[in-house]
Structure 1
Amino acid sequence: MHGSIINLLKRFVQTQYDHSTWLKLVELSGLPSADFDMMTVYPDEHIFALVGQAAIMTGIPAVQLQEKFGEFLVPDLMLVYKRYVQPGWGTLEMIENTEEAMHGAVRRDAPGTRPPILHVTRLSEKELRVEYESERRMGALAVGIIRGLAAYFDEADDIEVTPLTSENEERVVIRVRQR
């Protein structure tokens, strides 16, 4: 997992709770340090340990935590990738272009990273089928990011995000529909 994502998780925990909660989370996760370099790629086990321990500490299921973290990520992701966003795009267009534009840039610019693969199919003017594919099995994060995009584009009340398969699988199907 890219260090930038772990640092955003740190900020998420500090925003929702406080810095001491982050330090306790890292300690209970068995990780050697609470500091992560932004440009380093860390073993996926680091993020799994942190999210799993956070679920234990809060009593909130890991899937729900991943969704909330995904929503939290969006403003930062949009800031980083704003050069790839076309004027006039909304949530659906952003999702349609994520794989080629944003994930493509990540694969080119940050060797060693493995963003999920998204297969997006436009079913109608107002509906997408998103197939998330990753050995990390973090489809809940994708669901949260989609909900965060809807909020970012001020479409949260108009966008319905429905996982059609378990969010813990390598392949997760998500329906995104504009009302």
Structure 2
Amino acid sequence: MYGMLLESVQHFVQLEYGEEVWRKVLALSGCKFTVFNTHQVYPDSIMASLASALAITTSNSYESFMKFFGKCFVRFFSNYGYDATIKATGRYFTDFLDNVDNIHSQFRLSYPKMKSPSMYLTDVDENGCILVYRSQRQGFTHYVMGQLEQIAKEIYNLKLSTSIVDEQTSTAPTGKTLYIVNLRLNFDNTQYVETKKLTKATNLRLNSRLPGFSCDLLFELFPFAILFDPAMTVVACGGKLLELAGGCKEQLLRQPLDNMFKLRRPKGIAFTWKNVSMYK
């Protein structure tokens, strides 16, 4: 992990628990670093060791300190202006949750060695949602829960409670183990749901008044577009996409979609019609 995460831990432990406790924690955890550099990469185990040492020192739980560390990071990254990136995702907290993977992609330009998790929403209702958290790191679930709770409070003025619904493991195509956690996020999501309903109703009214148009026009406007059916077979595509295939229609049309394309986000889910329809 990058040093900025550990910088935030050091800053707020020193601020809220004092320098003496921080020194005890460093010694107890066996951490050889006394300061952390923002863009330097450190072993993931350091944060877990610091949380364990704090738990022993203060007689609190390891999970509570991992959650505290997550909150520390959110409080800390405002110094870098990253809160503006979150606010740009939309008016509602759910808009942010829908765009976490996109935010990580933007940050990867500045932090190219970042190993970010993948998150996506499943059930969304007036009282919150289910967030699926997938990561190659084990033991960071409460850290993420702390981040989410602090973002909801600090940026969206929401009271958020988080709980683990279930946990499981899976094997990624690379052979690495994926840790998958379903989190229930409870918060006031009424405005988001009502806005979505209103937008959908408005779009339906507008669509009923608009004249139809041909696929040729669609592909002229969007030359890299691709049209596929529920069997995940390519039905048609734009001219520029066809050029990339060497101008040979047989290489694309009526071929299985996953012969030429792969689903990049959300990470780790099957490239099926059901999933594409659900997460579009």
Global fold match (TM > 0.5)? yes
TM range (shorter): 0.7 to 0.9
- Whole-Å separation in 1 of the counterparts to 2:115 and 2:89: 28
**How many angstroms does 1:110 deviate by?**
0.8
**How many angstroms does 1:135 deviate by?**
2.6
1:151 aligns with 2:134: no
Structure 2 partner of 1:58 = 58
**Aligned AA for 2:47?**
I
SS at match of 1:39: coil
The structure-2 alpha-carbon separation of the partners of 1:90 and 1:77, relative to structure 1 and needing over 3 Å to count, comes to farther
Alignment of 1:10-25 (within 5 A): 10-25=10-25
RMSD of aligned residue pairs (Cα, Å): 2.3
1:173 aligns with 2:182: yes
**How many angstroms does 1:114 deviate by?**
0.8
Structure 2 partner of 1:80 = 82
Superposed CA deviations along residues 119-154 of structure 1, whole A, max 9, x for unmatched, are 223523553221112232201011111111221121
SS at match of 1:143: helix
5+ residue gaps in structure 2?
Answer: 169-177, 189-280
Structure 1 partner of 2:143 = 141
Structure 1 partner of 2:206 = none
**How many angstroms does 1:49 deviate by?**
1.4
- Whole-Å separation in 2 of the counterparts to 1:29 and 1:144: 22
5+ residue gaps in structure 1?
Answer: none
Higher alpha-carbon deviation: 113-122 or 18-27: 113-122
Structure 2 partner of 1:90 = 92
Higher alpha-carbon deviation: 20-29 or 124-133: 124-133
- Structure-1-length-normalised TM-score: 0.85
The structure-2 alpha-carbon separation of the partners of 1:108 and 1:18, relative to structure 1 and needing over 3 Å to count, comes to same
When the two structures are aligned, how many residues end up with a matched partner? Answer: 175
Give yes or no for contact 2:152–2:158 (8 Å, CA) kept in 1: yes
- Whole-Å separation in 1 of the counterparts to 2:93 and 2:124: 15
